[in-house]
Structure 1
Amino acid sequence: MKTTASSAHLQLTANQRRVELARPWVLAALYVGLALAGWWWLAVPVAVAVCLAAFVQMHDAMHNALGLPKPINERILTLSALLILKSGHAMQVTHLRHHGRCLTEDDPEGAPATWQFSRVLWQGPWHILMLRRESLRIAPNTRRIQLLETAFTVVLLVAFVALYFLTGSLVGIIYWGVAFLMSATMPVWASYIPHHVASRNPAARAAAAVAQVWTPVVSSFAFHHVHHHYPRVPTALLHRAAAELPPPPEEDHH
């Protein structure tokens, strides 16, 4: 894991930062509007997009890559994770461990990348829950914020259920279901696939070619190896890092 002077110029402009900060929240508002209108065929895919955008924002906040003052970055980490019903600080603990000890026995987040694919499918949902326990073990000094964020998540779930029973609205329940599905499959799309698809793979090359269409989703897949080498580069600028910085050795994260 390296943050070098050569990557220091790859920082978000003020306008880019506004886009990166607004994206998941604009999509969340769009989801609510579509859901309230009963257009579920559009609302559900938008809910998936909300989760992906929130994941990327949370991930950039984990690495302090958004160019924000630390107190604001900490709040963004908490709030973006809530959009996918997670504790941002808990995920930060295991993610930074992943970068420091990538795919070793002491890398709980990266463990699915070392499993058979069939195991990732059936054990993945339990693995996500296990990471909560591991984050408390690795960083007991963050126990308070982790538990507080977990409490916020519980409050959100209770609110979704209450909304349904009080008004009959499925807006919260459906979103919960989508967020749960994205969470349950996270070991597949956020761990196994990125660590098994080399940058020279045709799928990765195709993703790299269109990385600027919707950078957060495509770049995180196409330039995963670049991110591991230059973690302070925002996801939105990984395509530039891949073009401008010395290419990292892929064996570092496979």
Structure 2
Amino acid sequence: MHDAMHNALGLSKETNKRVLSLSGLLILKSGHGLQVTHLRHHGRCLTEADPEGAPATWSFGRVLWQGPWHTLMLRREALRIAPSTKRIQLVETGITLALLLGFVALYWLTGSLVGLVYWGVAFLMSATMPIWASYVPHHVSSRNPVARTAAALAQAWTPITASFAFHHLHHHYPRVPTALLYRAATELPPPPEEDHHH
């Protein structure tokens, strides 16, 4: 998902758009909407014009209580920021709503909780994303022992570990695929700490 937002998968433009849409739908979101706010975050990191990065500027208490609503706000902001992608964002949003209705129907018709549990996990990820994807990475220096430990563990790559461990590096080299950030950390010049607005 994340690498598709940065066109860092080496795919054709059309294939990347499909991957972006499908991976967004896997987490019950508009992939193109996420791309809009994420690229804005990279371009205007932690400014008033950066809705994705806003939680990094809030108190931790505010991140906890406002996090679940922040996801909905990002969807609205993506439509406002990039009206040229409004159609695909609305199509993806419509498919997301259809999936949610399908999950409810599956439970109602068969008693299966599979769809509702999937929805719950996706919601929990979205509700906590302002903590683990915005607040923590922007408040922990890349030199912090916790970040260094995460960097050591990131060789057994997971997107969340790599995102946390190499967040600062990713901001400086956004086209490096997430799975290769641990190698980039040893092969590319380190970015200046102040460039990341911690």
Give the shorter-chain TM-score range.
over 0.9
- Distance between the aligned counterparts of 1:252 and 1:120, measured in 2? 23
Offset, 1:212? 1.3
Match of 2:132 in 1: 189
Match of 1:176 in 2: 119
- Distance between the aligned counterparts of 2:163 and 2:18, measured in 1? 22
Indicate whether 1:125 and 2:65 are aligned: no
- Distance between the aligned counterparts of 2:96 and 2:195, measured in 1? 35
Which of residues 228, 231, 235 in structure 1 aligns to 2:178? Answer: 235
Match of 1:137 in 2: 80
Match of 2:24 in 1: 81
Alignment coverage as a number of residue pairs:
197
Offset, 1:251? 1.8
Match of 1:113 in 2: 56
Offset, 1:216? 2.0
Indicate whether 1:251 and 2:194 are aligned: yes
Question: Percent same amino acid among aligned pairs?
Answer: 80
- Distance between the aligned counterparts of 1:245 and 1:140, measured in 2? 36
Amino acid corresponding to residue 212 of structure 1 in structure 2: Q
Alignment of 1:5-154 (within 5 A): 58-154=1-97
- Structure 2: where are the runs of 5+ without partners? none
Q: What is the RMSD computed on CA atoms of the aligned residues?
A: 0.8
Offset, 1:170? 0.5
Q: Any idea what SS the aligned residue of 1:217 has?
A: helix
Match of 1:52 in 2: none
- TM-score normalised to structure 1 length: 0.76
Offset, 1:78? 0.5
- Structure 1: where are the runs of 5+ without partners? 1-57
Q: Deviations over 1:65-95 (max 9, x none)?
A: 1111111110010111111110010111111
